[in-house]
Amino acid sequence: MLEQIRRRLAENNCDVFISTYKTHRRYLTKFTGSAGLVWIGHDTNILIVDFRYTEQAAEQSPGWEIVKQESTLTETLQSLIEKYGVKRIAFESEFITVDQLNHWQRNFEVEFVPTKNWVAQLRMVKTDEEIEKITKAVEIADQALQELIPTIKPGMKEIELALELEYTMRRLGAEAIAFDPIVGSGPRGALPHAVPGERQFTRGDFIVIDMGCVYQGYCSDMTRTLIVGKPTDKHLEIYNLVLEAQLAALAAIKPGLTGKQVDSAARDIIASAGYGDNFGHSLGHAVGLEIHEEPRLSQLDEETLVPGMVVTVEPGVYLPGWGGVRIEDLVVVTETGCKILTQTSKEMVIIE
């Protein structure tokens, strides 16, 4: 990956690429500390950290020169700029504030060149090691939900289930939750990102559960929709429609298609059934060190899928005042299609 950054430097006539963004710092160096700056030159790769992290950085980032920050980061950067005769510095414009850039421009007699997506594009295709960690995060979430489904009963509160989801994933080996669990029941299931509240599960409710955890830095993401009590014809109609759309999208995924084309595979089915206006979000997104990454499976995304990308497939139908259904798997794009990582059944689960 360093050679790809260096190619970009040459193409843009820059001497150094710097990054302060935590996720990119971890991706490039494997350093997990909360502060530091990555410096990549044509023949240098340096990780600047302060006193708190020198030992940790040396352990986690073999192959990187660890530079201990002087009294300020500005002084340390100035020393490196002078040492290597730097004239043009490429920086990540989407992660540097105007105030920070102004500070650098006042203090350094160099040209700062804005860049975007140099590292994000590298992160789109996962290594085997990354996929192994994502798979483990998926397994933890799968197991947690399977353990908890038998405990879900009418009268249980959304917030109680959300708490149990978080605790169970942590107990099973997750280092953190990937995002606050979404639990929306009954009419609140029509909120795609419902915040769990005090509402109690009631017969006739769909319960939308969206959950994920972090394992060794990498995220998982899964949604299942349960029904409390015997489903009505409308429950079956909406659930089966979303499931049909999800299965169609899974079958469509293969290298060479764009995110837009895969999105259409699910969206067209839902629209043909008359619920197009009730599916208002994209079909999916990539997952990795962050829960939302590129590429997206959306009506606008023209990025071509390639093997090694890890994406969610999560169509939904949301009916205000009634409820909603979303079904989500995490998949890896393969040479011939996709491999579904999520193993929790998609058959309708009835809570008695």
Q: What is the pLDDT of residues 37-69, one digit of tens each?
A: 999 999 999 999 999 999 999 999 999 999 999
Answer whether residue 1 shows pLDDT above 90. no
Task: Give this prediction's pTM.
Answer: 0.95
| Per-residue confidence (pLDDT) for residue 186, from 0 to 100 | 98
- By CB atoms closer than 10 A (0-12, 13-18, 19+), residue 223 is buried
The DSSP bridge partners found for residue 183 are 209
Asked if residues 258 and 305 have their Cβ atoms less than 8 Å apart, the reply is yes
Asked if residues 144 and 190 have their Cβ atoms less than 8 Å apart, the reply is no
Query: b/e per residue, 68-78, with b = 16+ CB within 10 A?
Result: ebeeebeebbb
To the nearest whole percent, how much of the chain has pLDDT over 90?
99
Over residues 245-260, the pLDDT tens digits come to 999 999 999 999 999 9
Local structure of residue 127 (DSSP, 8 states): P
| Per-residue confidence (pLDDT) for residue 231, from 0 to 100 | 98
Q: CA 221 to CA 179: how far, in whole Å?
A: 9
Answer whether residue 75 shows pLDDT above 90. yes
Over residues 316-348, the pLDDT tens digits come to 999 999 999 999 999 999 999 999 999 999 999
Domains of the chain, first to last: 2-123 (3.40.350.10), 128-351 (3.90.230.10)
Answer whether residue 275 shows pLDDT above 90. yes
Answer whether residue 25 shows pLDDT above 90. yes
